[in-house]
Every structure is written in C-alpha cells, then in structure tokens.
Amino acid sequence: MGFLAGKKLLITGVLSNRSIAYGIARACRQQGAELAFSYVGERFKDRITEFAADFDSRLVFDCDVGDDAQIEKLFSDLHAVWGRFDGFVHSIGFAPREAIAGNFFDGLTRENYRIAHDISAYSFAAMAKAALPHLNDQSALLTLTYLGALRSIPNYNTMGLAKASLEASVRYLAEAMGRTEDGRAIRVNGISAGPIKTLAASGIKDFGKLLSRVADAAPLRRNVTIEDVGNVAAFLLSNLAGGMTAEITYVDAGFSQTAGLSADQV
Ligand code: NAD
C-alpha cells in the first residue's frame, strides 16, 4: 500500500506524456492515490481520457481556468462524483509568446501582463477558493513555479512576474487554509522545478540553450525529469509532509543554490 492510499486528488495540466503533471500523476498513482483530471479544450478530450486510463481513472473534466464559472463547475462536478476529496495539483501556466521572448519591454503590454497573471497565478487562488468547501481535513494543494519568480532569467520576462505572484499566493493560501473555521488543516505548497522540455516550455525563446546551461552548472550536472518532480509532488501531497506548508521546494538538481557556475566552468 502506497503513502497516498485512500487519497482522492485532482490533477490539472496534463497535455502530453511529457507534461510535469503527467509525471506527478504517475507518482501519485504509484503511491495509491485515486485520480481525476482536468484539461482545457474539447479537442484534447480523447487524448486526456486515454492518459486518465493509464492511471485507472475515468474522471476527466474540461475546465478553462480563465473562467470562474468553469472553475465552479469543475469542483461541483467533482463533488458530485467524489463527495469530499483530498486536494489538487495546479500545473498550469500560460503567457502570450511575445511576453516570453527577447527584450522584456517588447512583450510588456497591459494585456500580456493580465493574461499571464490571470492564467498562471490568479487561477491557483481561484481554484483553492472554489475547492475549499469540498476538501477533507489533511488535504494538500500544490502548484508549479520556476526560479524566474526570484531571479531575472533571459526570455522568461512577464512570466517571472506571474510566478512571483503565484509564490506569494502559496503563502497567503497556506495561512488562510491552515486552520479553517470548521477545524480542517489544509496545506499549500509549491515546487520550483528546474527546466524540463515540455510543450509550455518550448514557447520560451532559446529554451534548449537554457536547458544545457543549467545542466552544466547544476551540482548534479543534469536536468531534472518529470519523475524527479513527480516523486517530490507525491510526498508533498501526502500526510508524510503533514508539517510542511507555505513552502516552495526546489527540484532543480541544485541549480538555484549556485551562482550559475559549476567548478568545471572556472
Ligand atoms: P505543459 O504544456 O505540459 O502544461 C501546461 C498546462 O497548462 C497544459 O496542460 C495546458 O493545457 C494548461 N493550460 C494553459 N492554459 C490553461 C487554461 N486557460 N486553463 C486550463 N489549463 C491551461 O507544460 P509544463 O511544463 O508541464 O507546465 C506545467 C507547469 O509547470 C506550468 O505552471 C509551468 O510554468 C511550470 N513549470 C515548468 C517548467 C518547465 O521547464 N517545463 C519549470 C518550472 C515550472
């Protein structure tokens, strides 16, 4: 029996079998969790239904997190099947392409800023608010962030601002949900993953160069995988991490703790 046996978790953000959410789903299923999935766009329904079947799930819901009504419907539909459940993974990010390429100012418009923050940051807090009535005691929420929240990283640009907002949301949500009025303890954490080649990441200009520079400089001298992230995610979603909340945990082969240089490079 795995350490997530008996937990019911919603996984958002599976788009391909390279998605970070796919790695998280695999690790959670291996540890015994029962899973449901949400995706955006009717055209992906068959694909996500097949992925869900990989994890013994028939629960797939269409939800564009840019729409409050769809977020409400997602959780009321999930509640209709599961009753209360034990948390969700927010593995969602989006910024218009010109906002994650080249000169910071070129992509900086009010509309690009709004979209990046709406889809990549506000959606996590909005989902937490909508899910709250349906969550069991000892539930856990998890989101995915990136070092660009704290440091300027070439091309990450407007998305870095959105990730900074997302990381602040983790701390405020953790405080708001840590002891609810009816006595439930709900934990909220983030994983700051090192760069991984996924569909979202391929939208970032020169992402391939970033991957190789990070692999050269990281203490482990490699990039991380969706399995690396998935295993830490499963732990954070479980009662093994019952004393951890409001944290951003780095799964990045150690890169964030270097000055961007390895011993081989000096
Ligand atoms: P991905 O392309 O596989 O996943 C991104 C997901 O966001 C997709 O499933 C997409 O459908 C979803 N999405 C976008 N707009 C949406 C909307 N309006 N409503 C609902 N869903 C929407 O890429 P990924 O790299 O697995 O990204 C998952 C998360 O991990 C993102 O938050 C990303 O910023 C973060 N992250 C990625 C990396 C990396 O290098 N890949 C590193 C750190 C953090």
Q: Whose CA is nearest to atom 34 of ligand 1?
A: 93
163 among annotated binding-site residues:
yes
Question: If you measure from the C-alpha of residue 5 to the centroid of ligand 1, how many angstroms do you get, rounded to a whole number?
Answer: 26
Active site residue 156: yes
**Mean pLDDT, residues 138-167 taken together:** 98
Q: Alpha-carbon distance 158 to 114, whole Å?
A: 10
* Residue-level pLDDT at 184: 98
Report the pLDDT averaged over residues 214-231. Answer: 98
Q: Is the pTM of this model over 0.80?
A: yes
Quote the domain boundaries for residue 82: 8-252
Contact present, 166 and 120 (Cβ < 8 Å): yes
Domain membership of residue 195 (yes or no) is: yes
C-alpha to C-alpha distances, 144 to 20, 24, 88, 133, nearest whole angstrom:
9, 11, 12, 23
How many CA atoms, within 13 angstroms, populate the side-chain half-sphere of residue 53?
6
Kindly indicate whether the ipTM for this predicted assembly is greater than 0.90, answering yes or no: yes
For residue 264, the model assigns a pLDDT of: 87
Percent of the chain past pLDDT 90, that is, above it, reads: 97
241 is in an annotated binding site: no
**Is 90 exceeded by the pLDDT of residue 218?**
yes
Ligand 1 pocket by Cβ (under 6 Å)? 13-16, 19-21, 40, 64-66, 91-94, 119, 144-146, 193, 195-196, 198-201
The answer to whether residue 37 is domain-embedded is yes
pLDDT in tens, 95-122: 999 999 999 999 999 999 999 999 999 9
Instruction: Tell how far the Cα of 12 is from the centroid of ligand 1, in angstroms.
Output: 9
Residue 53 placed within a domain: yes
Residue 121 alpha carbon to ligand 1 centre in Å:
12
Per the domain annotation, does 261 fall within a domain?
no
**Tell me: the pLDDT tens digits for 189-200?**
999 999 999 999
Total domain count for the chain?
1
Q: Would the annotation count 132 as a binding residue?
A: no
User: Is 259 inside any structural domain?
Assistant: no
CATH number of the domain where residue 95 is located: 3.40.50.720
Question: Mean pLDDT throughout 21-39?
Answer: 98
Domain assignment of residue 3, yes or no: no
What average pLDDT is seen over the chain? 97
Question: What ligand 1 atom has the least distance to the C-alpha of 200?
Answer: 2
Asked if residue 1 has pLDDT above 90, the reply is no
Q: Is 87 left (phi over 0), alpha (psi -120 to 50) or beta?
A: left
Residue whose CA is at the smallest distance from ligand 1 atom 3: 19
Task: Inform me whether the pLDDT recorded for 266 exceeds 90.
Answer: no
| Residue-by-residue DSSP string for the chain | --TTTT-EEEEE---STTSHHHHHHHHHHHTT-EEEEEES-GGGHHHHHHHHHHTT---EEE--TT-HHHHHHHHHHHHHHHSSEEEEEE------GGGGSS-TTTT--HHHHHHHHIIIIIHHHHHHHHHGGGEEEEEEEEEEE-GGGTS--TTTHHHHHHHHHHHHHHHHHHHHHSS-TTS--EEEEEEEEPP---HHHHTSTTHHHHHHHHHHHSTTSS---HHHHHHHHHHHHSGGGTT--S-EEEESTTGGGS-S--GGG-
Instruction: Report the pLDDT averaged over residues 119-137.
Output: 98
The tens digit of pLDDT for each residue in 31-71 reads 999 999 999 999 999 999 999 999 999 999 999 999 999 99
